[in-house]
Structure 1
């Protein structure tokens, strides 16, 4: 037996659902492929039993290529949800305290898994010796990720701590997974599809144009991502 840690996105629908789905379509258009292959948890805490169009929500999401692995909030006994295939939600890493583990999860790509290491007393950094190619995904909840190369378009790096990219960031960087709001993203050349810290994100169109194509750091201030050029 072995354990795995993975990152799941959370979608929180709001009423009216037609407007929420339209906003979701705009997000998908801005970042094509963002939900591809990603596990998603649907949080129903912002809707009511009689919310219009609630009954068709799972089909609406499935049509957009969104794969639901869990549902939180809401009620299975609502008439609108009676016909849903209601998967059980895995425990949220944000809500529950970290439990001791014998082995840390491996950093993974679509094709391979890195060597596992013993869980240290303090977070450790994962060093990726080469560029992260399109279609690959590196996930390291145990600390920082350092990429000595670039992160290509269509690639993604996720870290429990900060992300340091010595080359260009053209794909996606997701720092502070699990609730670390002090994490940052550093890159030699910012040309990202998406950057996120502790659940707050910005797509390419929302990034500060002053930092585009240059060395930059991204940090979280309140609920807003701040982009700052790096010296040199």
Structure 2
């Protein structure tokens, strides 16, 4: 036994359960050209939103043949667009064998909280992947996370269990996420994702809407769509009938 082990030195790491927002891609069939063309179109709708995101390939609705699944091609296409495929969910034994050969993690369906399936227009899906070691949530109310400093370009602020309150501007290129509502007491110029666990009653409030992207429970609008609805004014954004609705705060 080494001296380090016998003297009880501190371990170099610890394993803990985590709740991580991830994007799920529900694959119906795989054709490399069609796959990349569709991926380009999604990225064009929300430039920068998908950069460096972890992606889970969902095979629960896959209709193609197993021999058409080429995870190495999928991984390569996604990497060219700065998206990282980390695992596969669902599928049969043949699908799982192909995923293992590509060094992808196998994610049980029960480990993921379901989200509405993606649609062609203005919708993304984010999911929580929880390890078995995750601690159950307490029944008591979760306090809001309060941020008093500006959220600068390249920064990400995440409230995984409740509301997020920001008493300062959110700069372009920044990203704020919350399980509940998001309140920005200043200009919202970056990306805001509320209800990331699927809470469709979540809302986004801001003093000046200048966002690159706003999302609630996976439904989103990009800046081009928002500029005709309360742009650079105080608004709230909520989900109604699967559509994001922007309302001036003085008329809410």
The two structures have a TM-score, normalised by structure 1, of 0.80
Q: Whose helix fraction is larger, Structure 1's or Structure 2's?
A: 2
Structure 2's unaligned 5+ residue stretches are 1-13, 116-127
Match of 2:20 in 1: 6
Out of 58, 75, 79, the residue aligned to residue 92 of structure 2 is 75
CA drift of 1:10 comes to 1.3
Out of 149, 152, 164, the residue aligned to residue 168 of structure 2 is 149
In 2, the alpha carbon distance for the partners of 1:34 and 1:222 equals 24
Q: Does the alignment pair 1:88 with 2:106?
A: yes
| Structure having the higher Rg | 2
Q: Does the alignment pair 1:29 with 2:48?
A: no
Given that 1:45 and 1:72 are in contact with CA atoms closer than 8 Å, whether structure 2 keeps it comes out as yes
- Which is worse superposed, 188-197 or 1-10? 1-10
Matched residue SS, 1:231: helix
Match of 1:60 in 2: 77
Matches within 5 A, 1:69-148: 69-78=86-95, 81=98, 83-89=101-107, 91-94=111-114, 101=135, 121-148=140-167
CA drift of 1:140 comes to 0.9
Structure 1's unaligned 5+ residue stretches are 105-118
CA 1:34 to 1:14, structure 2 compared with 1: closer, same or farther past 3 Å? Answer: same
Out of 38, 50, 53, the residue aligned to residue 38 of structure 1 is 53
Q: For the aligned residues, what is the CA RMSD?
A: 3.0
In 1, the alpha carbon distance for the partners of 2:250 and 2:41 equals 34
Matched residue SS, 2:187: strand
CA drift of 1:51 comes to 7.7
The two structures have a TM-score, normalised by structure 2, of 0.74
CA drift of 1:68 comes to 1.6
Matched residue SS, 1:196: strand
Q: Deviations over 1:18-66 (max 9, x none)?
A: 4453232122134332222322211123322428964122222222211
Given that 1:42 and 1:68 are in contact with CA atoms closer than 8 Å, whether structure 2 keeps it comes out as yes
